[in-house]
Structure 1
Amino acid sequence: MGEALLLVLLVLDFGYRNAEVESDSCDAVSMLNSPTIPTHPLLSIICCCKSKINKDWRCSINHIYREQNVAADALSARNIDFWSWIHLFETAPDFLKDILYADAMGVSKHRSVAA
C-alpha cells in the first residue's frame, strides 16, 4: 500500500494529471476503490492514498492479474541492472517499448489457469 501512495505522489510531483495504476494486489485495489472501514488497521494509509487519488486529477486504480502484468515482469527480470528499490524513467527503456505499445493498443495476454 505504501508503494501506491509513493507512486501517486511522484506522478503528481511530475505534473501528470491523468494516471492509471494497475496492481496485481486485489486486496490493495479493493481497499482503495471501496468505502473505507473505520476500524481497518491500515486506515491512515488508506485514507492518505484516497486523499491523494481524489485530488484535482484523474486517477484510476485497477486490478490486473500477475500473468497480464507483462511490463512489471520485464522490469523485474532486469532488476540486476538497478541499484535502488525505485526507478523513474523519463522515457521507456528499449526493452519495454514493444510491451507498452501492445498494452496501449489493448493487446491482452491470456491467463493460464489450472482446472
Structure 2
Amino acid sequence: MAWDEGSRQVEVQTDSRAARELIRESAGTHPHHILISQIRQLLRRDWRVELKHVFREGNVAADFLASLGHSLSVSEHTITAPSPTLNHLLLYDVMGIQTPRFVSN
C-alpha cells in the first residue's frame, strides 16, 4: 500500500524480533516461506525500507492491529477508518505515551 501511494521511504515497525530476522535471513523451510519471499520481493523494490523492532509498549496501535489480525481470515484486510479504540491508541503513539507490560511470575 505504501508503494502504491508513492511512499519511497518507509519505516516498518514490528514487536516480533523473530519475524524481522526471518525477513532479513534465510527462511529455509519455514511454514510461511512463501509469505516471507513475497515480503522480500517488496523490499527489493527501488525504495528505502527500514525494518525496526519496537517493544509492544512502544507501539500499542500496531499491537492492537496484530491482535485484531489473529481474529480475521488469512487474507489482505484494509482499514479505511480506525475504530474509536484504535483512534485512542494512535493518539497515545503520537503523544509518546507508553503502556506498561504486566509480566506474571
TM interval, shorter chain, is 0.5 to 0.7
Matches within 5 A, 1:1-115: 10-33=1-24, 36-37=25-26, 40-42=28-30, 45-66=35-56, 70-71=60-61, 72-73=63-64, 76=68, 86-115=76-105
C-alpha distance in 2, partners of 1:73/1:45? 22
Conserved in 1, the CA contact under 8 Å of 2:58 and 2:93? no
Superposition TM-score, scaled by structure 1 size: 0.55
Tell me which amino acid in the other structure corresponds to 1:60: E
C-alpha distance in 2, partners of 1:83/1:41? 23
Superposition TM-score, scaled by structure 2 size: 0.59
Q: Secondary structure at the match of 1:12?
A: coil
C-alpha distance in 1, partners of 2:83/2:10? 19
Aligned-pair CA distance for 1:96: 1.7
Aligned-pair CA distance for 1:40: 1.4
Conserved in 2, the CA contact under 8 Å of 1:32 and 1:61? no
Q: Secondary structure at the match of 2:3?
A: helix
Q: Secondary structure at the match of 1:88?
A: coil
Percent identity, aligned pairs only, is: 26
The alpha-carbon distance between structure 1 residues 61 and 67, as it changes in their structure 2 partners (threshold 3 A), is same
Alignment coverage as a number of residue pairs = 100
Aligned-pair CA distance for 1:53: 1.7
